[in-house]
Structure 1
């Protein structure tokens, strides 16, 4: 990565889009992309305060800049709320005020040509909006692509998502002057897209997502009388929950008392078979629990008390739960896919996502704190997390912001 040589005064102004944060202001639990946009907003407030102008798209279609002080209060309230450090924070109220400001207030305007930074996929399905923003503010477009999963694996997406995501990627391919992705497989896919569109000179930077070191990291692990494992992620087919649920049922049927399995994540889509197992399989009732809206602090406590994180996904754009687990000193059993190897390096134990017997043997070893688990715990000492501050710093320097 080439480091920027710009001084603070010569850096361009940054028109930073917080449309997704505004749309999620009333949510108590953030998604992965929510965390990304919030981390960038927080970094820009701290390190590009004199250069950042916040902006967003109103639901009725008006795009405008936002009052700086109100935007700052909103971002700080989200940080407090989503970290569970202050449940009295009121991001939803501040978000409504910002939505009103989009319609009725005149926000700041860049003094000259600027860079428009969008790190969510919000409104990329509306290329005319992007085109108008770039023209109005004399901006070049720098953006993040999280994954191409709905295009490459349409069987794992909602029915309408493959076409919608194709439009998002077409918008990026047409307008972007610099692109960031969280993993090399996503970067390579975008380079191929750009090359096919005659824009192969557009730089694509691979910058891993960071790990948020919030106060919950210092919490003690959850106490449990029996060993347990944690699986984190939206309950949808590509996360491969069925593998784990079938293994747990098999262990019960064999007359063995299995460890507990804690499934953390909202229910997603195309997941009827998974939900049927969770809701209607009596053999799992005593050993599998489901939690849809746990605050970060409780997730951290459960991770720290677990035997391991289980991550059997068929495909991922990054693998943030893995990075968060390893940063807490928690081992992991992961599907053997390139993205997760990029995150877990040579520390984690990898298994084919369809290798049921292999997963079963590994789970039983880790439940008993066996040879495999002890070896990974030793390897964990050499794994170093990337902080969100460092991740965003690498990204903004790569994009010359």
Structure 2
């Protein structure tokens, strides 16, 4: 652990590691970019971002950048080990990593890492788009908690994104106090409360990993006449084939629509036309699409799991994620006009709790405490 720093009379110098940001800005990548933008807007912060690819250079306009190696490249392990020596020359107060790993040995600054959830420990199957070597590394990393505990011990402080995640992680992966930097949503023109009950479209936004349990959404459709499930996110061909087979087996192949990625405007338009946003996830660290839907006045139908009770503010229709019939029941309840309007109104109020400026304030509170 490094010595405390006196920052009186000058901005807080923060280096933000954006190298882990994917070209599809969703999930952790969305968290990273939006939090960096919110920190850049603070006058008391002097922000620099680390990037490693051309598509990352425009993510946070108007801030200093340092282009270095890609931390995911195994051939760059030595460069990652040497990174703190380079960063020391810039004299930052804090280096913030929105994931749980970056080179730390020999640093003269406060290092703060983030762990968003423990999903890979519960669902250890690697993402299907990883190389063979990466899949082997994934399984080794999550076979026990020891590697993760070691990596997190390299940081001065560790953060997560929700109280639910904090309760699960604290004591298992992190022995000290775990801070919370919540997600936010972009502050768009407020959508007025509206009755969405007349729509036969339901939308899903998110990855298609094992824990997302999209199969339950598909298997609920036979009990829901005319309802169409719109899957908005990018999907790799292998996973698409798997879900298509599930849909044909259930006899609803013509009611599954793969959008394979949408723009922010298309996302907003599809939400506006939907009965509800749905997710059957078995485990989450946060669940940002839920808040994005509520911010647009769209009702939410989701798994009855602790994190969704926290994030929705109890403004949702909950179902057992292991039971397609219960999922169908919840989606059918969302067709009630009175319930739809109430959830639209109350969801807007709940979503107002989650803003990127508030997330930046939580991050700054952690940074100040660390130095």
> Which of residues 37, 42, 47 in structure 2 aligns to 1:47?
42
Do the aligned residues in 2 keep the contact of 1:143 with 1:172 (CA within 8 Å)?
no
**Aligned equivalent of 2:25:** 30
> Which of residues 335, 346, 353 in structure 2 aligns to 1:379?
346
Structure 2 CA distance, aligned partners of 1:72 and 1:9? 32
How far has the Cα of 1:374 moved from its partner? 4.2
Do the aligned residues in 1 keep the contact of 2:232 with 2:262 (CA within 8 Å)?
yes
Structure 2 CA distance, aligned partners of 1:71 and 1:276? 35
**Aligned equivalent of 1:87:** none
**Aligned equivalent of 2:178:** 204
For the residue of structure 2 that corresponds to 1:208, the secondary structure is coil
Q: Which has the higher helix share?
A: 1
Do the aligned residues in 2 keep the contact of 1:365 with 1:371 (CA within 8 Å)?
no
Q: Give a deviation string over 1:58-88, Cα, whole Å, max 9, x none.
A: 59xxxxxxxxxx9996234699xxxxxxxxx
For the residue of structure 1 that corresponds to 2:172, the secondary structure is helix
1:233 paired to 2:206 = yes
Measured at CA, do residues 31 and 8 of structure 1 come closer, stay the same or move farther in structure 2, by a change above 3 Å?
Answer: farther
Q: Which runs of 5+ in 2 are unaligned?
A: 1-5, 72-78, 80-84, 129-134
1:274 paired to 2:243 = yes
> Which of residues 87, 94, 116 in structure 2 aligns to 1:115?
94
How far has the Cα of 1:152 moved from its partner? 2.8
Structure 1 CA distance, aligned partners of 2:179 and 2:164? 11
Cα root mean square deviation, aligned? 3.9
How far has the Cα of 1:327 moved from its partner? 1.1
> Which of residues 170, 179, 184 in structure 2 aligns to 1:191?
170
Do the aligned residues in 2 keep the contact of 1:173 with 1:193 (CA within 8 Å)?
no
Instruction: Kindly tell me the number of residue pairs found equivalent between the two proteins.
Output: 338
For the residue of structure 2 that corresponds to 1:244, the secondary structure is helix
How far has the Cα of 1:113 moved from its partner? 6.3
TM-score by length of 2: 0.77
Measured at CA, do residues 318 and 310 of structure 1 come closer, stay the same or move farther in structure 2, by a change above 3 Å?
Answer: same
Measured at CA, do residues 204 and 10 of structure 1 come closer, stay the same or move farther in structure 2, by a change above 3 Å?
Answer: farther
> Which of residues 295, 316, 320 in structure 1 aligns to 2:284?
316
Structure 2 CA distance, aligned partners of 1:332 and 1:189? 24
> Which of residues 364, 368, 374 in structure 1 aligns to 2:332?
364
